[in-house]
Amino acid sequence: MNQRRNLTLYTKHDCHLCDEMKAQIDRLRGHMAIELQIVDITGDIELERRHGEEVPVLVIDGKKSATARIESAELIRILEQE
């Protein structure tokens, strides 16, 4: 797959699930064309309202694709979709 995927990961402080999802993405970055933006929702009232109960929230190319936990195989499958 050569298409660059734009990922946004919404996180908050002291979130072990957020750390796990970021680590999963980081492992794939060496093998796939991934642009990752991390957005900490802490203190942003609108983002906390929208994502607070679901973090981490992974948005791929503008589409919410995962919350909380995702298996690595499922993440790869989503990223390989054109």
Give the fold, CATH level 3, of 5-80. Glutaredoxin (3.40.30)
Question: How far is the C-alpha of 11 from the C-alpha of 18, rounded, in Å?
Answer: 6
Annotated domain spans of the chain: 5-80
Tell me how far CA of residue 64 lies from CA of 14, 30, 31, in angstroms.
22, 23, 22
* Chain segment 34-54, per-residue pLDDT in tens: 999 999 999 999 999 998 889
pLDDT tens for each residue of 16-31: 999 999 999 999 988 8
Which pTM does this prediction carry? 0.89
Confidence of residue 4 (pLDDT cuts 50, 70, 90): confident
Three-class secondary structure of residue 14 per DSSP: coil
